Chain A
Amino acid sequence: GQSLEQPSEVTAVEGAIVQINCTYQTSGFYGLSWYQQHDGGAPTFLSYNALDGLEETGRFSSFLSRSDSYGYLLLQELQMKDSASYFCAVRVGEGTGANNLFFGTGTRLTVIP
């Protein structure tokens, strides 16, 4: 089976940096993704890491360590609009389910002035 752990809530100040961690235990592993979801909205893709290391996309970066079964999402220069839920998801499948994702329960980020 699969299990992912991420903090349920994080609060940070506008302009600051916040890191959201994700640890996973899976029967197979092909990559770690991050999605953002605002209240009432649909999840939207942020990043995907298949290899160890840091991927940077603007203010957001994502890190993966396959040996530690661990990744994190780093948000810099926080803005009020970054208040949302953030989900990590692992790609565990192969064959017809190769693109399937298993999601964590999400971290609710609140940005305060």
Chain B
Amino acid sequence: DAGITQSPRHKVTETGTPVTLRCHQTENHRYMYWYRQDPGHGLRLIHYSYGVKDTDKGEVSDGYSVSRSKTEDFLLTLESATSSQTSVYFCAISETVNEQFFGPGTRLTVL
């Protein structure tokens, strides 16, 4: 299995607070992604990174920001959490076009 960890694995927070989720990889893959998964929507891309300090928006980027200061770490920040951001968040990495490897996920609840 690809070495991907996410932290925290579970988080409960209140509306209006900032939240940062961390994705850490040990595979030295170039590409990293943040997805959210909600019932009825499958996986939707929030942001992605194609190198250190190189990031771009995905399908559902409003309310989220990312940073990648090192190859191994990709941070997702909810600037001011809202209840609509309650979701399961998955980080993924890839080096080729064929396959993405997913982390274990973070379950976020915004009250």
Q: A residues within 8 A CB of B74?
A: none
Cross-chain contact B97 with A42 (CB below 8 angstroms): no
Q: B residues within 8 A CB of A44?
A: 102
In the complex, which residues 19-74 of chain A have their Cβ closer than 8 Å to any Cβ of chain B? Answer: 30-31, 33, 41-45, 48, 50
Cross-chain contact B43 with A45 (CB below 8 angstroms): no
Cross-chain contact B97 with A98 (CB below 8 angstroms): yes
Q: Of B17-25, B53-61, B63-71, B78-86, which binds chain A?
A: B53-61
Q: B residues within 8 A CB of A30?
A: 97
Minimum C-beta distance from A103 to chain B (A): 4
Q: A residues within 8 A CB of B33?
A: 100
Cross-chain contact A106 with B97 (CB below 8 angstroms): no
Cross-chain contact A45 with B42 (CB below 8 angstroms): no
Q: Bin chain A's interface residue count.
A: 20 to 34
Q: A residues within 8 A CB of B100?
A: 45, 99, 101
Minimum C-beta distance from A87 to chain B (A): 6
Q: Which residue of A lies closest to B107 (CB)?
A: A40
Partner of A100, one of B48, B90, B105: B48
Cross-chain contact B42 with A103 (CB below 8 angstroms): yes
Q: Which residue of B lies closest to A8 (CB)?
A: B40
Q: Is the CB of B94 closer than 8 A to any CB of chain A? A: yes
Cross-chain contact B90 with A42 (CB below 8 angstroms): yes
Cross-chain contact A106 with B42 (CB below 8 angstroms): yes
Q: Is the CB of A110 closer than 8 A to any CB of chain B? A: no
Cross-chain contact B97 with A31 (CB below 8 angstroms): yes
Q: Which residue of B lies closest to A106 (CB)?
A: B42
Cross-chain contact A43 with B102 (CB below 8 angstroms): yes
Minimum C-beta distance from A76 to chain B (A): 22
Residues A91 and B97 in contact in the complex (CB < 8 Å), given A43-B102, A96-B54, A97-B48: yes
Residues A87 and B54 in contact in the complex (CB < 8 Å), given A43-B102, A44-B102, A45-B99: no
Question: Which 5 pairs between the two chains have the least Cβ-Cβ distance?
Answer: A42-B102, A103-B43, A105-B42, A103-B42, A45-B99
